[in-house]
Structure 1
Amino acid sequence: MFHFLIPMNKQNETIENVLHDIYNLILTKGTREWEREQLIIAKDALAQEINVQSELSKLEAKLRPLALRNNLTPDVMDFYLKITGNTVDVQQEAYTRDNDNFAYQERAVFAGGCFWCMVEPFETQAGIVSVLSGYTGGKIEHPTYDQVSSGLSGHVEAVEIIFDQRIISYRDLVELYWQITDPTDAFGQFQDRGNHYHPIIFVQDHQQRQIAEQSKAELAFNYSQPIVTEIRQAETFWPAENYHQAFYKKQPKRYKAIKRARQQLLFYQTIKRKLHG
């Protein structure tokens, strides 16, 4: 259980101070929309003078996954550290104690066209802890969807996958990645065109690089065209806006239409490749 820096025995003063911080974060332009939604929920509860510690515990639990990955926006991270009274490293130790599976979890990042179509294939596999849509590979900090889709930020749309190594391996994920992308298309993926849809495997360490490069070399025997999917060292992963997360669940009809078109193009290219040897 984490401990607050703020004096919980001064209930009225505590509510006033916390609400002040939360209001400022809600109004701050740089606050990510998903973060703002969580802050508004906490604000509304605290405004009704509900137990401060209980509400902050709920807020901390929601912010924790991104805090542990250092992916909260700067001001929200400062607030997170303030209400916990600890560094992220200490929080990660606490999180590890609360989660027996943490030591078996590994991270993978793949870019393969629109991230709307990259979540479901991975998230529905056994052993997947979470799949987050986001941006990586560019030079702008805290990029927005508009900046990335303009093609000028240098980022690509990607998914960050946390998985349990005991159930599914990194090699399994790489093999699935090849099945849902076109490794010969350097200018996008299927109906998604532009540099921000470029296919890239972002590796976390030497072991992942070895697995990805070996798998890529083996894949080349199945294609007459060059494999253009890049293998690059992982960079900062910036979570996308909340409306992009779990898109296939939020917009099932729209997602199915996009997925169907993607699968048809993938099937067509598979048949074409077989016919032309």
Structure 2
Amino acid sequence: MNDHQQEIMRRIHAAIANRATTDFERDHLRQAEADVNGGKRVASVLDQLKGDLRPLDLRNNLTPDVADIFSMLDGDDAAAVKFDLSRHYAKDADYEDRAIFAGGCFWCMVEPFDTRPGIEAVFSGYTGGHVDNPTYAQVSSGRTGHVEAVEIIFDTRVVSYDDLLKLYWQLVDPTDAMGQFADRGSNYRPVIFTRNAAQKEAAEASFKAVEDSGMYKQPIVVSIEDASTFWPAENFHQEFYKKNKLRYRHIEGDRKRVLGMKHMVGRIRRLVKTK
């Protein structure tokens, strides 16, 4: 057994013990482990496991740790590399600040900020709920009170909080209180989480500007709430747009088409009003 295979088997053993692993996944992982321990050819066993897991991967129904295992089985080791969260826990410099935004699935909220000048780091995670260290499965159930969100660490010398707010409003449907686009439920509701009085004042001013813009016929329902603990999401969800490029482009494409139509209608509405 080579080093790569040993690492996969180590992760399989850990995933079997992980409470978040589904029964279906665990059955296949246990079978693979038993087959290897029973003397079957490792490469053949892992190929079989990859085939067993592929249908769930295509539907994005694998739990995070098993998704990482599948990435390794599929030859995409980069997607399975553990994401470095040390920057999330580090103290910010005097010229740095953080913003926390929720706007539906966090997969589509990372890239627009991450690729902007002045952004130090962007993390996918959960916030606003009442359970410590929540998992994706717990948050998805809608019973923890959390929403999927992104935490953005930015250099205030390069980009301002107001700049990030302006971008945020371009990424969400501010008239949809119980989800965003195809993602439905309270865990996908749009929220601006403010960390201090200055951020709250800026968020409220931006809300008023959107409300007065005439772009939307329906009420603006984005919530502005005090920030609470931000819990980073599992490795699989971090930098999803880099690790799962094809799937991200498909999801983001649908989102952009819906937003493009809404923005076009809004511009026409404003034009008609001014005539």
Same fold (TM over 0.5): yes
| Cα distance in 2 for residues equivalent to 1:245 and 1:139 | 22
2:192 to 187, 196, 201: 201
2:238 to 218, 234, 245: 245
Kindly state the Cα deviation for residue 65 of structure 1 after the two structures are TM-superposed.
Answer: 2.6
| Cα distance in 2 for residues equivalent to 1:112 and 1:241 | 18
1:65 to 87, 98, 101: 87
Aligned to 2:146: 155
SS in structure 2 of the partner of residue 125 of structure 1: coil
Kindly state the Cα deviation for residue 193 of structure 1 after the two structures are TM-superposed.
Answer: 1.1
Letter in 2 for 1:190: F
Kindly state the Cα deviation for residue 273 of structure 1 after the two structures are TM-superposed.
Answer: 3.1
Q: 1:241 to 1:271 in 2, by over 3 A?
A: same
SS in structure 1 of the partner of residue 254 of structure 2: helix
| Cα distance in 1 for residues equivalent to 2:85 and 2:221 | 37
2:119 to 128, 133, 141: 128
Kindly state the Cα deviation for residue 28 of structure 1 after the two structures are TM-superposed.
Answer: 8.4
Please identify, of 127-136 and 215-224, the stretch whose mean Cα deviation from structure 2 is larger: 215-224
Letter in 2 for 1:256: R
Aligned to 1:220: 211
Kindly state the Cα deviation for residue 103 of structure 1 after the two structures are TM-superposed.
Answer: 1.6
Kindly state the Cα deviation for residue 235 of structure 1 after the two structures are TM-superposed.
Answer: 0.5
What is the TM-score with the length of structure 1 in the denominator?
Answer: 0.66
Please identify, of 202-211 and 263-272, the stretch whose mean Cα deviation from structure 2 is larger: 263-272
**Number of residue pairs matched by the alignment:** 198
Kindly state the Cα deviation for residue 144 of structure 1 after the two structures are TM-superposed.
Answer: 0.3
| Cα distance in 1 for residues equivalent to 2:219 and 2:243 | 37
Do the aligned residues in 1 keep the contact of 2:194 with 2:224 (CA within 8 Å)?
A: yes
Letter in 2 for 1:272: V
SS in structure 2 of the partner of residue 103 of structure 1: coil
Letter in 2 for 1:152: R
| Cα distance in 2 for residues equivalent to 1:181 and 1:122 | 13
2:229 to 191, 215, 236: 236
Do the aligned residues in 2 keep the contact of 1:190 with 1:266 (CA within 8 Å)?
A: no
| Cα distance in 2 for residues equivalent to 1:115 and 1:217 | 25
Aligned to 1:256: 249
Q: 1:177 to 1:67 in 2, by over 3 A?
A: closer
Do the aligned residues in 1 keep the contact of 2:145 with 2:187 (CA within 8 Å)?
A: yes
| Cα distance in 2 for residues equivalent to 1:163 and 1:144 | 26
Per-residue CA distance 1:120-179 (angstroms, 9 max, x = gap): 000000000000000000001100000111111110000000000000000000000001
Do the aligned residues in 1 keep the contact of 2:87 with 2:121 (CA within 8 Å)?
A: no
Letter in 2 for 1:177: Y
Does residue 1:269 correspond to 2:262, yes or no? yes
Per-residue CA distance 1:67-122 (angstroms, 9 max, x = gap): 43xxxxxxxxxxxxxxxxxxxxxxx5xxx7xxxxx221101000000000000000
Give the superposed CA RMSD: 2.7
Aligned to 1:178: 169
Give identity over the alignment, percent. Answer: 51
| Cα distance in 2 for residues equivalent to 1:248 and 1:192 | 17
Kindly state the Cα deviation for residue 66 of structure 1 after the two structures are TM-superposed.
Answer: 4.0
Unpaired segments of 5 or more residues in structure 2?
1-13, 21-63, 69-83, 271-275
